[in-house]
């Protein structure tokens, strides 16, 4: 199972192309967003241009952390050692992220057993909060777009 902008899917395609104004696409290199206003989106198409307004390149760290988050979102469990090995990253690089799980462990929503991080049955309702511990772009405690419960 995978997760993309449209929700959960079994589609393993590495590319998701967004059509229409404001749509977002994803490629292995990163994300692109089309012009958000319909008139500008149409103008670009009329000129034979891609209607892309902006893009964000994913770094190796972004891809590494995205895999951890996707596994948690889809399976409610991730083996950090396995993900680290597949990205040739040291496990110690995640020490800070794992430490951020301490309050959630105390509340009984997350578990850490060796290199395995999982959501408890109760924790499944709070999976976005568990995942946030591994998001390097999320300022802890700040709300950027949408907030979890």
Are residues 92 and 33 both part of a single domain?
no
Are residues 64 and 41 both part of a single domain?
no
Q: Specify the pLDDT at position 5.
A: 63
Q: Specify the pLDDT at position 97.
A: 97
Q: Residue 91 maps to which CATH number? A: 1.10.10.920
Are residues 64 and 53 both part of a single domain?
no
List helix spans (H) across 4-146.
38-46, 60-75, 80-86, 95-99, 102-106, 127-132
Structure tokens at 54: 């902006």
| Residue that terminates a domain, selected from 30, 57, 84 | 57
Q: Specify the pLDDT at position 16.
A: 86
Are residues 64 and 122 both part of a single domain?
yes
Are residues 34 and 52 both part of a single domain?
yes
The residue among 148, 143, 137, 141 whose CA lies nearest residue 56 is: 137
Domain containing 16 equals: 2-57
- Mind listing the pLDDT tens digit for each residue in 86-119? 999 999 999 999 999 999 999 999 999 999 999 9
* CB contact at 8 A, 86 and 65: no
Bridge partners, 128 (sequence order): none
CA distance 42 to 44: 5
**pTM to 2 decimals?**
0.82
- Which residue carries 């009984």 as its tokens? 108
CB count in 10 Å sphere of residue 136: 11
The residue among 97, 92, 5, 86 whose CA lies nearest residue 15 is: 5
Instruction: Report, as ranges of residue numbers, the positions in the chain whose pLDDT lies below 70.
Output: 4-6, 139-149
Count structural domains, the chain.
2
Does 7 fall in a domain? Answer: yes
């Amino acid at each position: 199972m995978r997760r993309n902008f449209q929700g959960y899917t079994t589609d393993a395609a590495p590319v998701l192309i967004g059509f229409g104004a404001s749509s977002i696409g994803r490629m292995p290199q990163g994300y692109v967003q089309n012009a958000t206003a319909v008139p500008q989106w149409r103008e670009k198409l009329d000129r034979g241009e891609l209607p892309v307004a902006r893009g964000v390149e994913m770094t190796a760290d972004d891809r590494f952390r995205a895999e951890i988050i996707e596994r948690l979102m889809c399976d409610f469990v991730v083996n950090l050692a396995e993900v680290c090995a597949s990205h040739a990253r040291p496990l110690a690089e995640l020490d800070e992220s794992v430490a951020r799980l301490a309050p959630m462990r105390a509340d009984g929503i997350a578990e850490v057993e060796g290199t395995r991080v999982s959501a408890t049955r109760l924790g499944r309702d709070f999976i976005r909060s568990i995942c946030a511990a591994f998001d390097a772009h999320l300022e802890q405690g700040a709300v950027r777009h949408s907030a979890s419960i």
